[in-house]
Structure 1
């Protein structure tokens, strides 16, 4: 069953059937959340959260809830979530979110899940361009004045935080009066933790054979290797910034058939197997509150889960086999 919901200032909630009792088996529900143009959607999960546990490999295959967002330029998926850990707060990049709940034919649990949705407003970039000159990296007074005067553009803030090396430095500069509380708030959230898979190569006990190494170079020049990606560019989002700004991912690289006559022409190194992997980062988006006199915006940092594509295997695609 699929339902379309128009998000208003009053907000609302979604929940698994029979919440807080056991949800039924063989259920597939989908909610399309739409908000007015120029707004965003905030999802906050209730602390009562319990679905069927994940598979042995950590994947949520059986009963799960997932949030998805698709725009003209990008597609972002949060989750899927299962088990007992409460999902993190989700802040959309646009005015459209899709929440899906699925349960299989086997086990069901209580209480299931409940998620609250609400409306967020954000400023157009032109409204905050005048603040660019007021931002000085490492100056608490400048950062504080800027946040009081109005919201920084995402590009301005992205450049400002580029000089920070730790989360503490980030919070101490942007929120000098409340940085300790902000740290406790962020790290006190219940969230999913991601543990990457480690692939260990067996040690070679035999003496190194230089001919063998030469053959390995020719055979494995096109291999997955660490590649630094800028998260805003990778996710194609302009209304949010991340800390850290860049992450390492495995991407195919290197030439094809190094040492041959056509070692770097006629062939392209490309992925033959790709896997999306979950990464946990700090995400900032403007949070605006309305009152009778004016509109106030404050810094809002949350732990967020993002998916990045990693290349596990690579191959050389050639117009004709290299000699």
Structure 2
């Protein structure tokens, strides 16, 4: 099999001499790497896509296809925008794709003038790295759709259409999309706009039932339904914790007695892992300091010693559903 790689054109350069920052180092950063087992087509994206991504972020995804004899194709969403390059080099905010089998960097992209082209792995794995520094985050970030390919005797691999996937794999693929538009594009790439219009176009039968039964007064916003489910699924949310219990300080009184922290909560009803039971666990934990009033008995003296002090509390920034017993995510 032969694959020809055509380099992408560099985006237009916007130079900012006042910023002296070093170029990012290589794609391999194991401490940040998240392994995604791929059994169907899906997508990954920058945090908060299609809105401004966070600063000071390093994310690495390694996509690993379940079957060893398939390839992975990456297709960038047309909505693409990262911080502009400097001297035609993406030094600061960028997304980078690496071929894990030999460490080849297939491309590094930033700016917003050019959407990166399709990338195809040599084997059943491919690695993606996203980096942003402390300055000038942009929007919308990026979204990458990944597709399983089956190599054939010819030079080009064959794309598995959704209709050819087993129902269980298709169900997993559908679960990975964030909006109805992305899903319809995946199912019907040649006529997705027509299908999307038809989906939301009311018919006389629908209006008739709504009028008679009073059950359906408007077309449901499916994107909103999905967002509502996400809010009550495995996500960070506010919890009040007792400082004495949290810090195991029974010899001290704190005021306030409790503080709000972000902790993982919700259920894993939509967990896609092949296991009997899923659990919601933190995948990113940060320690934050809170200033409180501390009251401690004085040794040999009546009264309490009063002072302001900083107490460290763990906050769960990101959560995910994993198989029960696997706390590593």
Class of the TM-score when normalised by the shorter of the 2 chains? 0.3 to 0.5
TM-score of the two chains, using structure 1 as the length reference: 0.39
TM-score of the two chains, using structure 2 as the length reference: 0.38
